Amino acid sequence: MDFATFLIQLLNGVQYGLLLFLIASGLTLIFGIMGVINLAHGSFYMVGAYLAFSLTGLIGSFWLALPAGVVLAVLLGIALEWLLIRHLYRRDHLYQVLLTYGLILMFEELRSILFGDDVHAVAVPALLNFSIRLTDTLSYPVYRLAMSGVCLLLAAGMYWLIARTRLGMMIRAGSVNREMVQALGINVGLLYRLVFALGVALAAFAGMLAAPVASVYPGMGNQVLIISFVVIVIGGIGSVRGALVAALLIGLADVFGQVVFPQIAGMTVYLVMAAVLLWRPRGLFGSA
């Protein structure tokens, strides 16, 4: 591997890592902070991709489809929390697993009924639909670079929200001691509904943003579910900063694992996870 190729692979790793952070960010909120095991996270990602597909077709502009999709996703999140999730906060994790697993099946069937089983595509918006030449054979698609930028903004925004705002303080307090926060006069029910909706919206946003490069197809959510949990667990449950570092670590491990050890490419990510957990059982930034 010459130096230029090494640098490009480094870029690939960082870029993939940031994308992983974007996908896992919603799960950091729902699983990491609310403590709800949400297996339907991949489904919300898929919902986002299909929203991007159908709304872009309907409205005719990807840029308008994005905010419209986020609004719809927030509404979906609020409805799901109110109908289903809120009944399970005090229950065992197993109930949450069963319920959110059921949601996966439901969303898959709905997708099949509404959109069929074909592969669909969302066009890369014209503004970003070009590539930068890196070497005489390779160019880099600008849309991917733009995605990385959005991921960084989002990471900063989430860190600010959780660590620096009053809302973030209430969320953190609520996750530690629900009753006490309630006793202090804060509407915890509403708070959790907001956080859940935000988590759903983030997952859907990731799906929408990824749709132009990932294409839109049945079962696409299942692929991102496991890797999202890996990111959260390595980073330390509940830590936004940890999720970002873990996502970058996984991105780099995946890219270089693929190139250097192609025979075990499927395993490198999990080897990294095992190593990190042996060293720090609560993850990189997990609180003891």
Nearest to 162 by CA among 200, 191, 131, 133: 191
The torsion region of residue 120 among left (phi > 0), alpha (psi -120 to 50) and beta comes to: beta
**CA angle, corner 259, sides to 135 and 129, nearest 5?**
45
**What is the three-class DSSP state of 216?**
strand
The torsion region of residue 115 among left (phi > 0), alpha (psi -120 to 50) and beta comes to: alpha
Q: How far is the CB of 16 from other proteins (least distance, A)?
A: 6
- Which range in 127-135, 164-172, 179-187, 194-202 contacts other proteins by CB under 8 A? 127-135
**19 contacts 208 by C-beta, under 8 angstroms:** no
Q: Is residue 54 a contact residue for other proteins (CB under 8 A)?
A: no
The Cα–Cα gap between 239 and 18 comes to 16
The Cα–Cα gap between 152 and 131 comes to 21
Q: Is residue 116 a contact residue for other proteins (CB under 8 A)?
A: yes
Nearest to 107 by CA among 203, 240, 210, 233: 203
- Which range in 28-36, 77-85, 172-180, 212-220 contacts other proteins by CB under 8 A? 212-220
Q: Is residue 125 a contact residue for other proteins (CB under 8 A)?
A: no
Tokens 């780099």 locate to 252
- Which range in 10-18, 150-158, 164-172, 236-244 contacts other proteins by CB under 8 A? 10-18
Q: How far is the CB of 38 from other proteins (least distance, A)?
A: 16
**Contact with other proteins (CB under 8 A): which of 114, 118, 179, 279?**
118
Q: How far is the CB of 53 from other proteins (least distance, A)?
A: 10
Q: Is residue 262 a contact residue for other proteins (CB under 8 A)?
A: yes
How many residues bind other proteins (CB under 8 A)? The answer is 52
Q: How far is the CB of 216 from other proteins (least distance, A)?
A: 8
Positions that interact with other proteins (CB under 8 A): 1-2, 5, 8-9, 12-13, 15-16, 101-102, 104-105, 109, 112, 116-121, 123-124, 131, 133, 135-141, 143-144, 213-220, 223, 254-256, 258-259, 262-263, 265-266
